[in-house]
Homo-oligomer: A and B are copies of this chain.
Amino acid sequence: MTEEGARRAPLNRDRVLRAAVELADEVGLAGVSMRRLAQQLGVVPMALYKHVADKDALLDGMVDAVIGEFDPPDPALDWQDGVRQRVLSARRAVLRHPWARQAIESRTRRTPAVLAYMDSVTGTFRAGGFSVDLTHHVMHALGNRIWGFSPELFDEPRDPGAPPLPPEAQQAMAAEFAERYPHVLEIALAATQGDLSGVGRGCDEDFEFAFALDLLLDGAGRLHRRGWSSRAASAPPAV
């Protein structure tokens, strides 16, 4: 026990951010408060404000930390595999930090790290011969997917604490569902091989993500090869 001898190493922005990431990993984004983070660091809440401007800046920094975990681009790949690998690497990082998705969605400032990542992905398309025009629209079309996530659609986040429903209640729910939402039920049944007890767990998110990503990248490639330009397309991109 160093007791009092070696007093706590002085804080700095980096240690604050790392502690915030760690805290969020443990207790979720909602559990991260300036007060709680300060406590974790053995410091009074106001001490944090010497290192981050305010809570918003803290969140920005946390997102930057996640971006810092993305793999660097691999220059040996062509544009399609290049973007694919980059985005899937982003996905891995975001999945390591369950709060990251929500944090990224809530951010409204573009930090240098954010811009650098977007610039890098954009550059991959350009290096692949894409026009500025097409690159621009394709980046928009990818949207949040460049951060490695897409919204949960059917996944019910049924909290793990809830007790499993008794079979007859499941039956009743299924009946109600079948009447009101036949098409959603159909999909749920197909995705879970008929076992509705775990609806939501049935969707293979990784598959869905790659499916959508490749749908977009393939479509983009098709437009590129065809010499598509937004000037010629007041109509939607024709089939």
Interfacial residues, chain A to chain B (CB-CB below 8 A): 105, 108, 110, 112, 115-116, 118-120, 122-123, 126, 132-133, 135-137, 139-141, 143-144, 150-151, 153-154, 156-157, 180-184, 186-187, 190-191, 203, 207-208, 210-212, 214-216, 218-223, 230, 236-237, 239
Max count, chain B CB within 10 A of own CB: residue among A150, A203, A221: A150
Inter-chain contacts of A214 with B (CB < 8 A):
236-237
A150 to B145, CA, bound (A): 10
Contact A230 B212, beta carbon cutoff 8 Å: no
- How close is A194's CB to chain B, nearest CB, in angstroms? 12
Contact A237 B215, beta carbon cutoff 8 Å: yes
Contact B132 A143, beta carbon cutoff 8 Å: no
Q: Which of B141, B153, B210 contacts A212 (CB 8 A)?
A: B141
Inter-chain contacts of A143 with B (CB < 8 A):
144, 150-151, 153, 212
Q: Which of B112, B132, B144, B230 contacts A180 (CB 8 A)?
A: B112
- How close is A31's CB to chain B, nearest CB, in angstroms? 16
Measured CB to CB, the nearest residue on chain B to A230 is B207
Inter-chain contacts of A144 with B (CB < 8 A):
143-144, 150-151
Measured CB to CB, the nearest residue on chain B to A191 is B136
- How close is A225's CB to chain B, nearest CB, in angstroms? 10
Q: Which of B181, B216, B222, B239 contacts A119 (CB 8 A)?
A: B181
Inter-chain contacts of A203 with B (CB < 8 A):
136, 140
Inter-chain contacts of A122 with B (CB < 8 A):
183-184, 186-187
A137 to B110, CA, bound (A): 31
